[in-house]
């Protein structure tokens, strides 16, 4: 993940959306950030942290951190981080998006892009994505917000995977022995 093109684009370059135009010309919207291929490649790894099933989702890592063999300071740091990440996802972006009366949260944006566009196509979420894509300026801003959400997950994964590594093997072995 550290050497991915996605990480390089999000953390080593300027990202965002540029809107330009003139009173007499068309408005142009340009998103600056990771390209489609970099996002898709990153999502393959990201999904393991985001959804249960691979044993390393943030929810499942909480079970590892809660084990009595893990030092209390790591447990407390992980809980605080998980709460902060959930609050981040539950909030609306600074630039609010209201689509058909729904105020979008980052979680909603993440779900629609992840399951309505990129992976495991969900018909309802795909229909929502199709509505959003009809407004090019909004779509560029939402694509940027989606990349920001992925980057936020990335930061937490990088911070909290290494401290648990020395304890994870023993915890997992005990869980399997049940």
62 Cβ contact partners less than 8 Å away, ≥ 6 residues apart: 78, 79, 82
Whether the CB-CB separation of 144 and 136 falls below 8 Å is answered with: no
Q: Give me the sign of the Cα torsion angle 122, 130, 127, 138.
A: positive
Question: In the numeric block, which tokens belong to residue 103?
Answer: 């105020």
What local confidence, expressed as pLDDT, does residue 174 receive? Answer: 44
Whether the CB-CB separation of 149 and 12 falls below 8 Å is answered with: no
Q: How far apart are CA 130 and CA 138, in angstroms?
A: 12
Q: Where are the domains of the chain?
A: 35-177
Strand intervals (E) in the chain = 16-20, 28-32, 98-99, 102-103
**Residue pLDDT, tens place only, 154-172:** 887 766 655 555 555 554 4
Predicted confidence band of residue 2 (pLDDT cuts 50, 70, 90)? low
- Report the share of the chain in percent with pLDDT over 70: 85
**Residue pLDDT, tens place only, 10-54:** 888 888 898 898 889 888 888 989 999 999 888 887 877 777 776
**Residue pLDDT, tens place only, 63-87:** 878 888 888 888 888 888 888 888 9
131: enclosing H helix or E strand: helix 123-132
Question: In the numeric block, which tokens belong to residue 73?
Answer: 């300071």
Matching residue, tokens 């729904």:
102
Q: What letters, b where the CB count within 10 A reaches 16 and e where it falls short, cover 118-145?
A: beeeeeebeebbeebeeeeebbbbbbbb
What local confidence, expressed as pLDDT, does residue 114 receive? Answer: 92
Q: How far apart are CA 140 and CA 4, in angstroms?
A: 22
71: enclosing H helix or E strand: none
């Amino acid at each position: 993940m550290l050497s991915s093109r996605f990480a390089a684009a999000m953390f080593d370059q300027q990202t965002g959306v540029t809107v330009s135009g003139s009173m007499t010309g068309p408005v142009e919207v340009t998103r600056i950030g990771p390209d489609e291929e970099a996002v898709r490649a990153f999502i393959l790894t990201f999904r393991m942290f985001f959804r249960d099933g691979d044993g390393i989702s943030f929810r499942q890592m909480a079970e590892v951190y809660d084990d009595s063999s893990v030092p209390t300071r790591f447990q407390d740091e992980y809980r605080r981080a998980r709460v902060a990440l959930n609050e981040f996802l539950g909030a609306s972006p600074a630039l609010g998006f209201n689509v058909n009366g729904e105020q979008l949260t980052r979680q909603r944006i993440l779900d629609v892009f992840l399951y309505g566009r990129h992976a495991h196509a969900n018909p309802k979420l795909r229909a929502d994505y199709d509505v959003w894509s009809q407004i090019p300026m909004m779509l560029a801003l939402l694509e940027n917000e989606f990349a920001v959400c992925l980057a936020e997950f990335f930061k937490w994964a990088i911070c909290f995977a290494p401290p648990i590594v020395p304890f994870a093997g023993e915890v997992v072995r005990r869980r399997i022995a049940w």
